[in-house]
Amino acid sequence: MKELPQKLPVHLGIIMDGNGRWAKKRGLPRSAGHAAGAQNFRKITRYCSQIGIRYLTVYAFSTENWTRPQEEVSALMRLFRQYLEEALRDFRDDDIVVRFLGDVSAFSAPLRELITETQELSANRSGMVLNIAMNYGGRAELTHAFQVLARRVQEGSLRPEDITEERISSALYTAGQPDPDLIIRPSGEHRTSNFLLWQSAYAEYVIMDILWPDFRPADLDAALREYANRSRRFGGI
């Protein structure tokens, strides 16, 4: 294995895409692809923590995913619950802070309780911050942030002219975190899919023609090397 570059992204985003196609290629139900993707998610998360990534944001379930067949949505909800139960049981020794981005109010009461318990138990850890985007959409996040700021204006605690980019950032789900430096999209699709729209303004993208369940630490290493060779100018020269 080639040595990792010294310049690693502080904040890495991953759009976990291709589970359904992975299953279809093997003649399996889509739920089998999601199960394989969930297993790979745990492996890649631990690897990111081991190599020194400080923030990892994964796209697990979008606001648009509710339109999928009910059977598939139900299977995903079962997987989320299983993952959280395993995280509470098996990740106690992992120095990973777990946070959730999105409107979790749409989930069942037992799943919401697991989300709260997972966040509370990991809050005092000092290692990598893992953001799991569930029922998340970039437009929905911005709408929520603007509503928060509008209420402050209505209450008189904020003037419209004081709404800056920094204040908008502070009203997002990722408040207090740096913007992503690198976003990886396995599966070969060339679109953002409503992921971290505000935060990714200057993020580097690496598109890889690998379905998510087949994405390995070596593939992540390759993306990190490509990122290290990029020249990031943030609009300058």
Query: Which residues are catalytically annotated?
Result: 17, 65
C-alpha closest to that of 131 among 45, 22, 68, 214: 45
Residue 58 is which amino acid?
Answer: V
CB 102, CB 136: distance < 8 Å: yes
**Long-range contact list for 227-232, CB < 8 A, 24+ apart?**
227/5, 227/7, 227/9, 227/181, 227/182, 228/5, 228/6, 228/7, 228/8, 230/204, 232/181, 232/202, 232/204
CB 163, CB 149: distance < 8 Å: yes
In order of 29, 30, 33, 79, 142, the CA distances from 25 in angstroms are 10, 10, 10, 21, 36
Can you tell me the distance from the alpha carbon of 59 to that of 129, in angstroms, rounded to the nearest whole number? 14
CB 201, CB 11: distance < 8 Å: no
Interhelix angle 217-228/30-51, nearest 10 degrees: 60
